[in-house]
Amino acid sequence: MTASYTVKDIQVLKGLEAVRKRPGMYIGNTGLEGLHQLVWEIVDNCVDEALNGHCNLIEVTMLPEGGISVKDNGRGIPTERHPATGKNTVETIFCNLHAGGKFDDDVYKVAGGLHGVGASVVNALSESMIVVIERDGYRYTQEFARGKPKGGLKKDGETQDTGTTVVFRPDSIVFGQTTFSSELVRDRLRTKAFLIAGLCIRFRDELRSLDETFCFPAGIQDFLEHALRDRQALDTQPIYVRHENEIRLEVAMTWTGDTSTRILSFVNSIPTPGGGTHDTAFRNGVHRALKAYLEKRNGLPKGVKGISGEDVREGLVAIVSVFLHGNLEFQGQTKDRLNSSAAGQVEPILRNALENWLHQNPVQAGVVTNRILLAAQARLAARTAREEVSRKSATRRLTLPGKLADCSLSSRDATELFIVEGDSAGGSSKQARDRRFQAVLPIRGKILNVEQASGDKLKNNREIQSLVQSMGTGMGHGFDYSRLRYGKVIINTDADVDGHHISTLLLTFFYRHLPELVRRGHIFLALPPLYRISVGAGKKMKIHYVFSDAEKEKLLQSRSGKDVDIQRFKGLGEMDAATLKATTMDPTTRTILKVGVHDEYQTDDLVDTLMGKDVRKRFIFIKEHAQEIQNLDV
């Protein structure tokens, strides 16, 4: 029998109720990404003042009680009564969706906050907010709580300063965790300062007594130098392109000896990790300019019939910053991907500039083109090797590691590979799996730290080779995504410090050497429980699996009496097959986390800091985050 569906069932949400009802529609999610999106929305409003020449200083302060303050020295929000709402303009902006000065080109020629919802969404999702305006010789203050004003706009005194300050504390009812990451906020602010030459951004974390000011006179040229700090650039001068007419385009780029590519793209200072039309136009412009130069000037060596975009981009490190005005189309409020046709102008602008540079700098152009030709020859050699392997594979079975317990289904998307540590965990996992679609690969101990290992060590490491053979894709120049054998690759390690370390080593390997699997969402982390807690006896007994000491204590505090049995799992090998299946392997009852890259630059920097050879960087990071560390593997 179906429930009734009448006019009474139709809800009309007023004001900011829709934001609180469905926050994910406005900030992506209510996890850490969504939490920090609140900060980015307010900071981007300040940056828009800077982009339009009205602000040269932004101050962001993380407060001890968990709130955050964002201040700029811009013009200050108008305070007069707004004719459309009958309320003062501050209240109009912070309590109404789609209210702001960025819907035409009169007030803001370029802006990152285009939808007019950022300030009001942050207000709706904050348990408290204070807005301070300095303008026209006076200081004004208004307070809000969960999107609603707590009173009117108050005139607090006289001042000669101008600007806007927003202090807010996220609502714990909305967010599971309300603690901001000092590192994330700091890195985002530094990136903003790189993108807008001359803008100073001061960052303070009062809990950790951190105080830094970012200001880069050379803008993205300084950014490129920073991005190259862990890579060896070719012996050429970086290429810098600046164009300002219908669109403003800045590009800083160079090539390195690495095989990976790092292209960081931005629109109106907003990071676009999902790329978009500007990113595609940049890639096409670079490819076509170098392809035309090679074919016209140098010709191609024997055996190389053409230059692919992959050849041109191998080893490329580039910062692409586009400033557009008008009606921009982003993918969602979080603006991960640009869909604006105006960015198509990037390709001819860049192509012309790059062709001029190549012709005016023949010696440096030779270094770059030689690098590209080597990449093309390596690509062709790898393809030949793959074809040879394919011909041989036609007459014999695929060679797989002996310790891999494969599944019977041949469909890639329907199959899963569990990577577990040790023979004991491997044995339990093989008993607990569904043999039709779940494969198990045991590895021995902590695998090689690929961030520090040489190429020879990587090739000769037995565990790494087992992983690569099981995937079926190969790696490096021999990587072939079409040969991936499993739809999900699930890292399943013990729920202790050693297990976390092994997971980190495996994630580093996938991120550095099979990054396409990470980008396409094939890598997952299992969440095995740390404790099995039975409460009660007989038919009333209930079994709880908990994943941390804090969760255990919370559960025990909520139970009266002391008829409780606690079993701590020291490892996956201690679980019987039924428990292992129910908690970590059965798709209907388990919890797994998909691994992804939200910000390529920050992820790359963090992996280098935590796993790289520079001990000093790691020491500084640990020192800054010492108060957050509960378990340290020494």
Catalytic residues: 421, 494, 496, 498
> In sequence order, what are the beta bridge partners of 168?
68, 129
Residue 581: is it exposed, middle or buried by C-beta count within 10 angstroms (0-12/13-18/19+)? buried
Instruction: Report how far residue 233's alpha carbon sits from residue 41's, in angstroms, rounded to the nearest whole number.
Output: 35
Q: What is the DSSP pairing of strand 316-323 with strand 262-267?
A: parallel
Instruction: Report how far residue 615's alpha carbon sits from residue 629's, in angstroms, rounded to the nearest whole number.
Output: 18
Q: What b/e readout covers 75-109, taking b as 16+ CB neighbours within 10 angstroms?
A: bbbbbeebeeeebbbbbbbbbbbebbbbeeeeebe
Does an H or E element contain 543, and which? strand 542-546
**CA dist 109 to 42, 164, 323, 341, 388, Å?**
19, 19, 10, 18, 57
Contact 210, 63 (CB under 8 A): no
Closest CA to 46 of 159, 157, 172, 202: 202
Closest CA to 390 of 483, 313, 292: 483
Does an H or E element contain 523, and which? strand 523-526
3 state SS of 587 = coil
241: its two tokens: 């392109």
3 state SS of 57 = strand
**CA dist 310 to 122, 157, 201, 315, 511, Å?**
41, 61, 37, 10, 18
Q: What is the DSSP pairing of strand 416-421 with strand 564-568?
A: unpaired
- The C-alpha angle 567, 568, 574, rounded to 5 degrees, equals 95
Instruction: Report how far residue 425's alpha carbon sits from residue 77's, in angstroms, rounded to the nearest whole number.
Output: 61
The count of other CB atoms within 10 Å of the CB of residue 186 is 20
**CA dist 295 to 301, 307, 351, 356, 542, Å?**
10, 9, 15, 16, 73
Closest CA to 303 of 381, 207, 407, 385: 381
